[in-house]
Amino acid sequence: MRIVLLPGDGIGAEVVAAAARVLRELPLELELEERLFGGAAIRESGNPLPPETLAACRGADAVLLGAVGLPELDRDEVRPEHGLIRLRGELDVYANLRPARGHGVDLLVVRELVGGLYYGERGTRADGTVFDTMEYRPAQVERIARRAFEIARGRRGQVTSVDKANILATSRLWRGVVERVAPGYPDVELAHMLVDNCGLQLVLAPGQFDVLLTENTFGDILSDVAAGLTGGLGLAGSASLGDGRPGIFEPVHGSAPDIAGRGIANPAAMLRSAALMLRHGLDEPAEAERLEAAVDAALLSAPTPDLGGNATTVEYVDAVVSALGA
Ligand code: NAI
Ligand code: MG
């Protein structure tokens, strides 16, 4: 199985190195191949997603991605984040799964990933007005809704579809399509919730949620909130899936310039993303479970500073490797 590693920027490179080391410990035939992406690729070639990188990703069984973003490129026209948005679109990984578990919470954000506000037309008018636009085609909503219902069947059978249907036309389309899809899944219970209330409910009573089905931007924001409820960004992994291979597997967090280069990033989010890769991307559920158990054990024995401990990234990975061998 061929896996393309995209370390990217900041702590992205640190956590991808951790994942590569752990993956090599597993009894699987994995071919790991590293490619330039993000700010690192801009420096090399002026392009955050060079054609060789995209071609390698297309030919892979899975893509494991760290994070992108460099503060010194923040004002530039070409930005590392554009590479990420393009890669997701090119591979058409429309379903972003972001689990959050712990502290009485066990929910899954199913976020539409290749449409909506992040992919709409944007521009600047002569008078200086700048605009972003949000568009959804019915088919785009339908495929993500079906994914959410299918996944809910294997969980507690509850889908909460999040929108802003009291204001936005795209949200009214969203709600209508979800309503149309729902009868095909009579074993799943559907509720609708406005996104602002959903933010409140996540903070006040997150235990009520099973699957949260959301538009791209809403899901980006709400999944960070969900991560905050369950131990922070250092723990939150994600899977981005299309209809076939490869999926993209990446932590929810970014390049964390505030701690980059200090060797203290928590690689658990990246390792949980690697476990999601084993389960959803490579069809190796037993190894996924083994890795998840080792990640959990190491969180107790060698917590990093974001969790109140003092283990370094390498010490935490040592603990994961030893838990895998135990
Ligand atoms: P961030 O997620 O990088 O960091 C937010 C806070 O969480 C920081 O205090 C950071 O130190 C902490 N944190 C994040 N991951 C951690 C880990 N694994 N271990 C310990 N602490 C961790 O978000 P921020 O600061 O808003 O963005 C930084 C850069 O990352 C920006 O350039 C942004 O565009 C980019 N970004 C990239 C993403 C991606 O590649 N998927 C996602 C989010 C942001
Ligand atoms: Mg985000």
Same domain, 250 and 276: yes
pLDDT in tens, 79-104: 999 999 999 999 999 999 999 999 89
Question: Which pLDDT tens digit goes with each residue over 211-249?
Answer: 999 999 999 999 999 999 999 999 999 999 999 999 999
| Domain identity same for 219 and 165 | yes
User: Looking at ligand 1, which residue's alpha carbon is closest to its atom 10?
Assistant: 256
Q: Quick check: CB of 254 below 6 Å from ligand 1?
A: yes
Same domain assignment for residues 108 and 91:
no
Position 74 scores a pLDDT of 83
Distance 168 CA to ligand 1 centre (A): 29
**pTM (two decimals):** 0.95
What's the 13 CA to ligand 1 centre distance in angstroms? 13
Tell me the percentage of the chain whose pLDDT exceeds 70: 100
pLDDT of residue 34: 98
3-state secondary structure of 42: helix
Q: Based on the residue annotation, tell me whether 92 is a catalytic residue of this protein.
A: no
The 10s digit of each residue's pLDDT in 136-162 is 999 999 999 999 999 999 999 999 999
For residue 57, give every residue at least 6 positions away whose Cβ sits within 8 Å of its Cβ, in sequence order, or none: 4, 6, 35, 63, 87, 90, 91, 246
Residues 175-206 pLDDT 10s: 999 999 999 999 999 999 999 999 999 999 99
Position 326 scores a pLDDT of: 79
Following DSSP, what letter does each residue of 236-283 receive, concatenated? -EEEEE-SSSPEEEEESS---TTTTTSS---THHHHHHHHHIIIIIS-
Calpha distance 288→268 (Å, rounded): 13
Is-catalytic flag, 118?
yes
- What domain range is 256 assigned to? 1-97+236-326
Q: Is the pLDDT confidence value at 75 over 90?
A: no
CA 83 – CA 323 distance, rounded (Å): 36
Looking at the fold, whether 224 and 115 belong to one and the same domain comes out as yes
Last residue of a domain, one of 185, 213, 229: 229
Joined together, the tokens standing for residue 207 give: 């235990």
**Does 194 share its domain with 243?**
no
* 61 plus 116 within the same structural domain: no
Q: Mark which of 229, 250, 265 sits at the end of a domain.
A: 229
Q: Based on the domain organization, do 85 and 22 belong to the same domain?
A: yes
Structural domains counted in the chain: 2
Set 61, 92, 224, 318: catalytic member: 224
Question: Atom 11, ligand 1: which residue's CA is nearest?
Answer: 256
What per-residue confidence (pLDDT) applies to 176? 98
Mean pLDDT computed over every residue of the chain: 97
Whether 112 and 207 share a structural domain? yes
Is 132 one of the annotated active-site residues of the chain?
no
Mean pLDDT (whole number) for 52-71:
97
Residue-level pLDDT at 106: 97
Please report, for the domain that includes residue 263, its CATH number.
3.40.718.10
pLDDT (mean) for 252-258 = 97
| Residue 314 tokens, joined | 């390498």
**What are 8-20's pLDDT values in tens digits?**
999 999 999 999 9
Query: Same domain, yes or no, for 180 and 117?
Result: yes
Active-site pick, 118, 119, 136, 316? 118
Residues 134 and 201 in one domain: yes
Segment 292-310, tens digit of pLDDT: 999 999 999 999 999 999 9
223, 108: one domain: yes
- Residues 289 and 196 reside in one and the same domain: no
